[in-house]
Chain A
Amino acid sequence: MTMTAKKEKAPGWSREEMAARAALDIPGGSYVNLGIGIPEMVARYVPEGREVIYHTENGLLGMGPPPAPGCEDPELINAGKKAVTAIPGASFFHHADSFAMIRGEHIDICVLGAMQVSEKGDLANWSTGAPDAIPAVGGAMDLVAGVPTIYVITQHCTAEGEPKLVESCTYPLTGQGVVSRIYSDLAVIDLTPEGFEVAELAPGVDFDYVQQRTGCKLRKGNGLD
């Protein structure tokens, strides 16, 4: 990948570019669950010609794009409680069946956001553990426990500049050793038995730049110099 350093703005991928990069790794024929936020945008970028079926855990397989304004149905929503559509070939089912698809390893890929990911693949994405917070978990723990491939899309650092890729998570865990690959604004990073391995760098970003913004040691993947 070419390096084009642009001084005028922070280097790296935009939210859309992160989603688009992740979308390249969704094979045709996959059953996929997309989390709320940037992960939802992945569906827009899956290359043409790949048939991918989207699952939303509130009870729909074959979720389509949002409806045209004025055509929203309050009883046809996704897990984020937003109006969606159902594609031809879609099905509705109750919650126990929906989570059997997740917990029974029938969904192939799940794309989620993260507060922290550890070098062991632990994910924290449901609670900061703050004493006054209202704890809320939804289906996150079910997804990471049951879906074989967990991709994370996240900014590399918090808004305060703290690394989100760390040696071990300080926030309460969602699951242990569950993350396969991370798409950050700076790099694509794989979880390996030896820890984080950089597979690709965003334009204008070099390995040291990513390392400086990561809370533990990174390794270079085969694709990097």
Chain B
Amino acid sequence: MIDKRIGSPAAAVADIFDGATVLIGGFGEAGSPIELIHALIDQGAGNLTVVNNNTGSGHVGLAALIENGQVAKMICSYPRTTNSKVFPELYRSGKIELELVPQGTLAERIRAGGAGIPAFYTATSVGTPLAEGKEIRAFGGREYVMEYGLRADFALIKAQCADRHGNLTYNKTARNFAPIMAMAAKTTIVQASSIVELGEIDPEVVVTPGIFVNRVVLVANPAQESRLVAEGRTYP
């Protein structure tokens, strides 16, 4: 029997190793798998390369993972937001590396990685500092820059509903990077707000087919990052 359910966030992230590349879903707090991130903080793996659109806020979730010294490099499109204090300080003091990628290029690199496409050409960033040093090629009279597909050891994502095969649905704009990250990681770990019987998710509305998912853990009432930040909470 295929059963991807696993008992706890701690068990789900137990084998994330030092130096791993980890895709973490979410756009700001929407879709951030905060319980899985906190389990990774407890687990302690270090020297990680983390891919996320942002760098977290306050002192919980992704920001706490960075603050805890576990992240050597961030790959993201927008590393500063209103409440992000942790990353800017570390970046300015040279303690964390940043690879800045336009948001659409970041998404396409992840999608390509998951689809077995090693590289592709895009018009985005041509003529800007973010294309410097990259291969430029003209197609149909227009210049494009080559970007590499992005694959990872692990993905941590948040879903609304899952079944034991790993079929997933999401909630509104919390979907963002999760479906493509699920495709691009060797091991995709999902926290889901509910886990239902096979067949309860209509095959017509499955967003992520279970083949892209390895582990599913139930987190029935996920914390809301902005609420934790407003309360001044820290983790651990």
Contact = CB atoms under 8 A, between A and B. Distances in A.
A200 B229 CA distance: 47
The 3 closest A-B pairs by CB, nearest first: A142-B104, A99-B104, A176-B127
B128 A141 contact: yes
Interface of B: 27-31, 53, 77-81, 87-88, 91-92, 98, 100-108, 110-111, 122-130, 170-180, 207, 224-226
A103 B123 contact: yes
Contact of B224 (A74, A127, A136): A74
A154 interface: no
A137 to B, nearest CB: 5
Contact of A134 (B91, B108, B126): B91
Contact of A99 (B30, B91, B92, B108): B108
A173 interface: yes
Given A95-B107, A96-B108, A175-B127, A103 B122 contact: yes
B100 A136 contact: yes
A58 B79 contact: no
B179 A58 contact: no
A139 B102 contact: yes
A75 B172 contact: yes
A138 B30 contact: no
A95 B225 CA distance: 21
A139 B127 contact: no
B98 A135 contact: yes
A79 B88 CA distance: 21
Given A75-B171, A136-B100, A139-B102, A96 B111 contact: yes
A58 B102 contact: no
B121 to A, nearest CB: 11
A135 B100 CA distance: 7
Contacts of A58: 27, 30, 173, 176
Contacts of A86: 172
A146 B100 CA distance: 19
A76 interface: yes
A99 B29 contact: no
A98 B30 contact: no
A96 B100 contact: no
B80 A145 contact: no
Contact of A95 (B98, B177, B207): B177
Given A74-B224, A94-B180, 8 more contacts: A73-B172, A81-B28, A96-B179, A136-B80, A137-B130, A141-B105, A172-B129, A175-B128
A102 interface: yes
15 contacts: A58-B176, A77-B27, A94-B175, A95-B107, A96-B108, A96-B179, A103-B124, A137-B78, A141-B102, A141-B104, A142-B102, A142-B104, A145-B123, A146-B124, A172-B129
